[in-house]
Amino acid sequence: MNVPVYTIVALIALVVAGGVIAWLGDVIGYRLGKRRSSLFGLRPRTTARAVGIAVGAILPLIGMGMAASGSSYVQDALFNIQHLRDRQKDLGEQVHELSDTKNETERDAQKARTEASEARQEAEVAQSERDRLEGERTQAKRALSGAKAALQEVQSKNDILTARQKTLGGRVDSLGLEVDKRKRDLDDLTRQLEPVQEELEAKKKHVAALQTEVDELEDILKGWKSAFYGPVLYEAGHELVRNVIRSDQTPEQIETTLLESVVLASKIARASGIAVKEGRSVQVLAPIPEGKRLGDVPEERIVRAVARVIQSAEQDSYIVSIKVLATVFVTQPEPEPVPVMLLAIPNTRVYAQGETIVHTRIDGGGPRDQVFAQIWAVLSMLRREAQEQGVLPHPETGQYGDVPAEELLAAHDQLLSAGATQTVRAIAAEDVYRAGMQPFLVTIEVGEESGA
């Protein structure tokens, strides 16, 4: 902090003047006291004190006078203090007003900046829109140019087509004459065809009569064979082996599984009495390609074709059934392999778990035996419904569904307890597919469906 030289000099002068004045006051007081002088009729001691007080009072006056004579600030502090305070107050109010004005100006400036920013954004959006419209305009110009070129091309084609139309007009007239002629020829052929159709119908009736006669002769022949060779061992369509094969295997794996099924069918036929001297006891003859006859296609080719069908299918698994093609008797003059076919069927899901397969209304107020007979009839309904939906029976038992006996008895007791007509439902206890190696499980429920 820089101290003015005047201040330093004034302080030194005040100290020196104060010391001198104090010394003079002390000397004057001492001498007056020594002389025992009296002023204004006061006692000498009182006079000495009055002189000391007067000197002490003069001292600050002299100091202020010296300070005021050398500094305008001291003069202002002594004589203009109120004016300075009023000026300070005025200046404070002006500062407050200027502060408010500044804040308002800053708010206005901020608002202006915000509006400017928004204006810039709107300008950018407008510019983008302008660019987009300019692009669309350019594309529209190009499209218009293309349309004009296409129109010219269409006009050219139209001129060509007009010329062709004139040419074709003449051809249409000539073709009309040709059509009339062909119609007359067709009418003549139709009249000639009528007796041929009548003859064909007569031939069809004759063939049907012959087929009926052949069926009767086959039945008679079958009866004679049965009398001569003994009872029938296998009827046509009898299933020897059933297997489920997944389609995600390689063709070689599927062929191996098919051949294993054929070997198993051969063992079953041999165990039934078809003891062929050489080779297997079954021979795969079908399916065969269109236009071929039984025996023309080797067994290996049939197995390979069935394997390709299974491997290329969209289903996860296939049912492979080996069925007998012709009636086989117990006794034969010379045992021959049983003719069989490989039947591949997609193993699709028929019923979902919890789905109602069949339902009926049963009166629980009747006799016990009649109520149970009606419950038992639900199983017959279940069998018919499963057959209609393409479900295959169990290969060994021919059964279509497995219903626990305790559920039948529980349904019987529930109906008798109700003593009124109730709905009885057979529900799939698991997902049911077209074929399975075990009978699918079924549950019996009595009462209305929940939510019905």
Classify the C-alpha dihedral 260-261-264-270 as positive or negative. negative
303-309: Cβ within 8 A, 24+ apart: 303/255, 303/258, 303/259, 303/262, 303/342, 304/251, 304/255, 306/258, 306/342, 306/344, 307/251, 307/254, 307/255, 307/258, 308/251, 309/344
> Measured between alpha carbons, how far is residue 445 from residues 186, 354, 403, 450 in Å?
68, 11, 11, 12
pTM over 0.95: no
DSSP assignment string, 244-261:
EEETTS-HHHHHHHHHHH
Q: Are strands 338-346 and 317-324 parallel, antiparallel or unpaired?
A: antiparallel
Cβ atoms of 59 and 19 closer than 8 Å: no
Burial grade of 307 (CB within 10 A; 0-12, 13-18, 19 or more): buried
Structure tokens at 91: 């200046």
- pLDDT, tens digit only, all 452 positions of the chain: 565 665 666 667 667 777 777 777 777 766 766 666 666 666 767 777 777 777 777 767 776 776 666 666 666 666 676 777 778 888 888 888 888 888 888 888 888 888 888 888 888 888 888 888 888 888 878 877 777 877 788 777 777 877 777 777 777 677 777 777 777 777 777 777 778 777 777 777 777 777 666 666 655 555 545 544 557 788 888 888 888 888 888 889 999 999 999 999 999 888 888 878 788 889 898 888 877 887 788 889 988 988 888 888 777 888 888 989 888 887 666 678 889 999 888 888 889 999 998 999 999 888 988 989 998 998 889 889 988 888 888 777 777 788 888 888 898 999 998 889 999 999 998 888 887 667 788 999 998 754 44
Q: Distance between CA atoms of 72 and 377, rounded to whole angstroms? A: 132
Residues 6+ apart with CB under 8 A from 355: 427, 428
Q: What are phi and psi of 239, to 5 degrees?
A: -90, 120
Q: Distance between CA atoms of 452 and 112, rounded to whole angstroms? A: 70
Q: Distance between CA atoms of 210 and 200, rounded to whole angstroms? A: 15
CB-CB neighbours of 430 under 10 Å? 14
The one-letter amino acid code at 276 reads: V
Cβ atoms of 374 and 361 closer than 8 Å: no
